[in-house]
Amino acid sequence: MQEFFLIAVSLLFLLAIADLIVGVSNDAVNFLNSAIGSRAAPRKIVLLVASLGILLGATFSSGMMEVARTGIFNPEAYYFSDVMIIFLAVMLTDVILLDFYNTLGLPTSTTVSLVFELLGTAVTVAALKIMAAGADWDALSGYINSAKALTIVTGILLSVGVSLVFGVSIMYLSRLLFTFQYERRFRWFGGVWAGLALSAVTYFLLIKGIKGASFVPAAFSAWVKSNGGLLFLGSFLFWSLLMQVLLAFRVNVLKIVVLFGTFSLAMAFAGNDLVNFIGVPLAGYEAFRLWAETGADPERFGMGVLREVENSNTSFLLIAGLVMTLTLWFSRKARTVTETEVNLGRQHEGIERFSPNWLAQGLVRATIKLSRATRFILPEKWREKIESRFEAPSFKATADSAQQQQRPAPAFDLIRATVNLTVASALIALGTSFKLPLSTTYVTFMVAMGSSLADRAWGRDSAVYRVAGVVNVIGGWFATAFIAFTVSGAFAFLIYQFRLPALLGLIVLAAVLLTRTFILHRRREEAKRKRETAMAEGNKMTTEQVAESTARQVAESLHAVAKAFSDALEGLRREDLFLLQQAKADIKAIRQQNEEFRYLFYNDIRRIEEMHGHSSRAYLLVYDLRQDILQSIQFIVKACNEHVKNSHRPLEKAQSEELERVVVDLALYFDRITEMINSQDFTLYQEAKRQKKALLLSLEGLMAHQVDGIKRKAYNASNSLLFFSLLLETKDMVAVAARFAKLFYRLYQNPHRPGLTLVSESEEQEAT
């Protein structure tokens, strides 16, 4: 029995390291978002400042470890064997859950995940004990600290709404005051603004950052709480004077504010959220140590002694801080999560990650109608004056300049970065002073989204995508609580019933899932790196190189369309929903390719137009043909999916065999075209034309055969209509592929003509 618990406590420490890595990868966005998004300093400097905050904050977290021991469940109601099962299930769930969110690039609350994992495991073990004892279910209240759990849920809802409102309000007033051309105005009263921001961050640091430090005298903490107003006023006067002096020497004090805020948030994160990652393993270690000293029966040794455990060893905390710091520097998933929040709030246009959903579309439409209705409230001159404060010519110029220099533009300016840090720090400090469990992740994210909304970063062309992203993130927050509760409860049940075999099985499951998400994320990062490299190279391409790049993209699209076509029709023939889901995934990938092409389309057209005006028309034709073939394959996939989902009669044998031949013939034709376009070898172009003609004749023959079958009443109406639709859309795809072949055939047959001068105007009209 002792060997099992020795394995268990060793495993807890291994899981603690893994949890630190996945936890920091998710929570790093809280303190990196503003500095990285505004490019207040080089990334290495930002990471260095955040690392110092983490290392210092880790030593302050000792007093917070009691949350894992006594915050959610009443330890005296459990035996040693019970709490070890609870702790193991919590850590296994936490590592898997946070790694899953990191792979998706979605920020979530590590506090909420820990709380609901503890709640789920404690409830499960308590229920098993009650059933074994034959006791009444009213006894469950003696196991769980339900008041604490209710307070956490209340804090979640409060965090989301309050943070959004304050983020919108403060950013709107700040932009009215400074505009995007803030440099000149800032020289006169920027010291007051910076002093106010630094005072809020300082107060946050004292209230939130060091409250868990065991070596901070209780008298000092009490003085800070009772003299908050005086402390804020003193720091405001000090910082305002210092910042105004620095402004006189033309120092960019906004960068100081952003870096100091980054340090403070990183320190508070380590000081308060470290318990989310190592609190449970340390509690498990203390429980094991106390039990081992007595040699008592693990099934009878009560855990009320956990309430008497002293603060954690500082060396453990420093080691944890070091692991967190290394993760911050080297974790690719930390960058993925940070990029999600930065991209949702960026001021300039770009490729949107999230697809619109019905809720986002409804919210955007309602907001537009509300905006139109409020126009009658303010006089026209006032509206024009307000609108002029939100014009951002200098920011756009900065973005264009950065693009020309082959370096990314800042997602937003330093004014917004300062607002994000100041408002988030103030709200978290205020909530802490009132003992409200506001989530750091929820507050910082919603403040950032509110400031983006107020700053007009969500324009008509991007709003629906950004709102969809916010909806997805918020939905993920509530899913966190549900998943953490249910999965941890299931793990606790398995370990409670089957002990070591279940534990080993869950370890293997966790290892498989972590490996899988690691590979998946690495593939995504590699694909993203290739796209970014292609985009960067695209800005330096000649028009001839643009043509070659476009040819490669077209070939990739045709290959993806052929795969989606095959998956959809095979799924229809076999009535296989898995294949149809794969076809939908293929469509999503094609749409992503088209979105990237669309994003580059305007800049490429403009550059080509400046060099060779007549070339841009052919480039436009490429874009048009890509849209046509996407619409056709989307229709085919949707029609097949609806037919199977609605459980319509399957295709007749003859229809199924005919579609099977169509899949093979189309794949061969598309392979021929993609090979010619990729290799730039069109010696078989005439053969491809004959292949196209034969394929179209075959499709015509199938339609004639279908008509004959209808006359003979061999096919029902539903199947016949579907069959006709599939064949017609297939004909359209064949025609589009032929136009692509003709387009690039003429390009490579006329190498001396510049750029994308592929066809004459009459030939373009003929092709379309």
Distance in angstroms (rounded) separating the CA atoms of residues 171 and 451: 5
Of the candidates 151, 161, 200, the residue with the CA atom closest to the CA atom of residue 424:
200
DSSP 3-state of 766:
helix
HEC string of 101-159?
A: HHHHCCCCCHHHHHHHHHHHHHHHHHHHHHHHHCCCHHHHHHCECHHHHHHHHHHHHHH
pLDDT at position 466: 87
- Among 341-355, 445-459, 474-488, name the one with the lowest average pLDDT: 341-355
Distance in angstroms (rounded) separating the CA atoms of residues 675 and 682: 9
Q: How many CB atoms lie within 10 A of CB 146?
A: 14
What angle do the packed helices 2-38 and 80-104 form, to 10 degrees?
Answer: 30
Q: Give Cβ neighbours of residue 42 (< 8 Å, ≥ 6 apart).
A: none
In Å, the largest CA–CA distance within the chain is: 95
Tens digits of residue pLDDT in 650-705: 888 888 888 899 999 999 999 988 888 888 788 888 888 888 999 999 999 988 88
pLDDT for residue 65 is more than 80 = no
- Among 273-287, 289-303, 604-618, 701-715, name the one with the lowest average pLDDT: 604-618
pLDDT at position 760: 42
Is 543-767 CATH 3.40.50.300?
Answer: no
Tens digits of residue pLDDT in 66-117: 666 677 888 888 999 999 999 999 999 999 999 999 888 888 888 888 888 9
Question: Are the beta carbons of 19 and 278 closer than 8 angstroms?
Answer: yes
pLDDT at position 483: 94
Q: How many CB atoms lie within 10 A of CB 255?
A: 18
pLDDT for residue 636 is more than 50 = yes
Of the candidates 566, 568, 537, the residue with the CA atom closest to the CA atom of residue 550:
537
pLDDT for residue 546 is more than 90 = no
Of the candidates 242, 223, 281, the residue with the CA atom closest to the CA atom of residue 89:
281
Q: Give Cβ neighbours of residue 577 (< 8 Å, ≥ 6 apart).
A: 571, 644, 645
Q: Which two tokens stand for residue 124?
A: 């499960």
Q: Could you tell me which residue, 480 or 149, shows the higher pLDDT?
A: 480
Where does the pLDDT of residue 551 fall: very low under 50, low under 70, confident under 90, or very high at 90 and above? confident
> In this structure, which amino acid lies at residue 38?
S
| Interval 217-237 mean pLDDT | 80
Percent of the chain with pLDDT over 70: 83
Question: Quick one: DSSP state of residue 412?
Answer: S
- Among 49-63, 467-481, 634-648, name the one with the lowest average pLDDT: 49-63
Tens digits of residue pLDDT in 190-207: 888 889 889 888 887 777
**Across 428-531, where does the E strand assignment appear?**
none
Question: Are the beta carbons of 72 and 122 closer than 8 angstroms?
Answer: yes
Q: Where are the domains of the chain?
A: 2-345+416-454+488-523, 354-410, 543-767
pLDDT for residue 1 is more than 70 = no
Task: List, as one string, the DSSP characters of 572-595.
Answer: HHHT-HHHHHHHHHHHHHHHHHHH
pLDDT for residue 438 is more than 50 = yes
Buried b (16+ CB within 10 A) or exposed e, 586-609: bbeebebbbeebeebbeebbebbe
Which residues, in sequence order, are bridge partners of residue 73?
Answer: 144
Buried b (16+ CB within 10 A) or exposed e, 695-715: beebbeebeeebeebbeeeeb
Q: What is the residue-averaged pLDDT of the chain?
A: 81
Tens digits of residue pLDDT in 245-261: 998 888 889 999 999 98
Q: Find which of 274-278, 527-531, 619-623, 655-659 is predicted with most confidence, using mean pLDDT.
A: 655-659
Dihedral of the alpha carbons of 486, 490, 492, 493, in degrees to the nearest 10? 130
